[in-house]
Amino acid sequence: MATSTECPPHPGSLLESLRNLGYSLGAAIADLIDNSITASASNIEIYHDFDQSPPRIAIVDDGKGMTPEELFKAMRMGSSSPLDCRSPNDLGRFGLGLKTASFSQARRFTVISRRDGVWTGARWDLDQLDESWRLDLLDEEEAGSVPWVDTIQGDGTMVLLEKLDRLGGKQLKRITPKALLKEMESARDHLALVFHRYIAGKSASHISININNYPVEPFDPFFERHQATQRLNSLAVKIGSDKAAIMPYIIPHFSKLSGSERDMIKKYGGQSKTQGFYVYRNQRLLAWGSWFGLLRQKREASGLARIRVDISNAMDHQWGIDVMKSKAVFPEVVKDEMRVVLDRIEGASVRTYTSRGQRLSEADPYPLWQREVSNSGVKYLIDHDHPLLKAFSRKLSADGVREMNSLLSLIEERMPIEAIYNDRLGDNIDGSSPVDDGERKEKYQQMLTLLLESGHDREQAERILERFFKE
């Protein structure tokens, strides 16, 4: 007859393993902020310094704080079951986020909380764990000496990450100020996107997030306030007893975006990485930049398409939400509905993209490049009859003209179309010219003189040059 005995996990070994879930610094901080939002915080302050080696990071909120009993439960591994019913505003799930997010970046973390004027504190330190799960409980004096604790003015909670030994998922022997600053900038961008609806006041729980007293500005991937953004018909998809809300968008063509707006899209990977579905759980962004296999491949013309999907925390198991709350899996019951939406939105994106491109081409009466379509594909050819080339060829001998045409043909054949396509898909192409005003004026005058000497009148010559020298 089989017998049973207790077989508890070794604390140090288990926690070292849980450190490898794959958190980035931004994802780890976002997981900690989830707890602040659940605690009804309005203001979240993030601090980091280089006074200690390794440096430290603190996340401080003005939420309702915790009692000693609540803090003890929060510090327990698996403090709640993912099967438990939760408040609609609860952003947690597995009862692991505080611990896994903290340990993913640091070997020691401390939580200090105040509720109704009563301080309580607790600390996990990987280097102090032995065979038992002994949690360090801090008395009021010890809690009051923790860095940045004085920033908690009323009720609230602070998570202090110390002994940082990882950044961007990499184990480091030493974290330099430069490396931390780079990761904190990436974290800022991550928080600006993940919590953009909270920061912008689009959620019932409006929050502000500051990093070393500098506010995190929200990034809206749908450009909802832009007058050129198209909102297609919304859709509600029933999944069990709940519903997912679907809202498709076509964002403006990049030519209609401001320089700062284009820079923001580039910062998040360009059109290639920002097109697709955006899955929100209680208005907190979980997963984005993917078509989840419903679109065969990302294309430049579909790069303007974005689909917002809103789910509740009651649907976690159906959407395969992971511990880091950074991934989701589309339920099979949703896929057929989504394919209908995709057909509609991709067509609208393609029309917006191509019609804009046609208008740009038609606006140039003297195009230097010609697009030639044949059974073998699309080619881009230089117009050898362009007024500037014809004017220049008049200065050459017959042999010189033949050599120039051969050189132009070679340029056409060697055009790196695939590289240009990939760069455009990632928005890595910078259309600006590094030429200063003096050099620009000199080139303009040279080309104008060339056209005038070849017989063009001044008005016509200026029209030909307009597209080349337009600011």
| DSSP string for residues in 230-297 | EE---EEEEETTEEEEEEEEEPPPGGGS-HHHHHHHHHTTHHHHH-EEEEEETTEEEEEEE-TTSSSS
d(CA 284, CA 330): 17
* Statement: 11-215 belongs to CATH 3.30.565.10: yes
The pLDDT value given to residue 299: 60
- Kindly report, residue by residue over 139-155, the tens digit of the pLDDT: 888 888 899 999 999 99
Q: What's the sign of the alpha-carbon dihedral 393, 397, 398, 403?
A: negative
At the second CATH level, the architecture of 230-360 is 2-Layer Sandwich (3.30)
Select from 200, 228, 191, 201 the least CA-distant residue to 356: 228
d(CA 311, CA 95): 20
* Per-residue tokens: 97: 């986020």
Backbone angles phi, psi at 400, to 5 degrees: -65, -40
Cα distances from 370 to residues 383, 385, 389, in angstroms, run 6, 11, 14
Partners of 246 in the β-ladder? 235, 309
CA neighbours within 13 Å on the CB side: how many for 14? 14
Q: Which residues, 6 or more positions from 422, have their beta carbon under 8 angstroms from its beta carbon?
A: none
Select from 306, 297, 398 the least CA-distant residue to 345: 306
- Kindly report, residue by residue over 9-21, the tens digit of the pLDDT: 777 777 777 777 7
Tokens 């019609």 belong to 355
Backbone angles phi, psi at 380, to 5 degrees: -115, 120
Backbone angles phi, psi at 325, to 5 degrees: 55, 45
d(CA 294, CA 328): 14
**Which sequence spans correspond to the domains of the chain?**
11-215, 230-360, 369-431+440-469
The mean pLDDT value for 292-307 works out to 72
- Kindly report, residue by residue over 378-398, the tens digit of the pLDDT: 677 888 888 888 888 888 888
- Kindly report, residue by residue over 328-337, the tens digit of the pLDDT: 677 777 777 7
CB atoms within 10 A of CB 10: 12
The pLDDT value given to residue 30: 95
CB atoms within 10 A of CB 400: 12
Select from 303, 301, 278 the least CA-distant residue to 289: 278
Q: Which residues, 6 or more positions from 168, have their beta carbon under 8 angstroms from its beta carbon?
A: 24, 25, 183, 186
- Residue 190: pLDDT band (50, 70, 90) is very high
Q: Does residue 199 contact residue 176 with C-beta atoms inside 8 Å? A: no
Residue 375 clears pLDDT 70, i.e. is over it: no
Select from 66, 129, 127 the least CA-distant residue to 98: 66
Select from 237, 249, 250 the least CA-distant residue to 311: 237
- Kindly report, residue by residue over 92-127, the tens digit of the pLDDT: 544 577 988 999 999 999 999 999 999 999 999 988
d(CA 216, CA 190): 10
d(CA 418, CA 38): 47
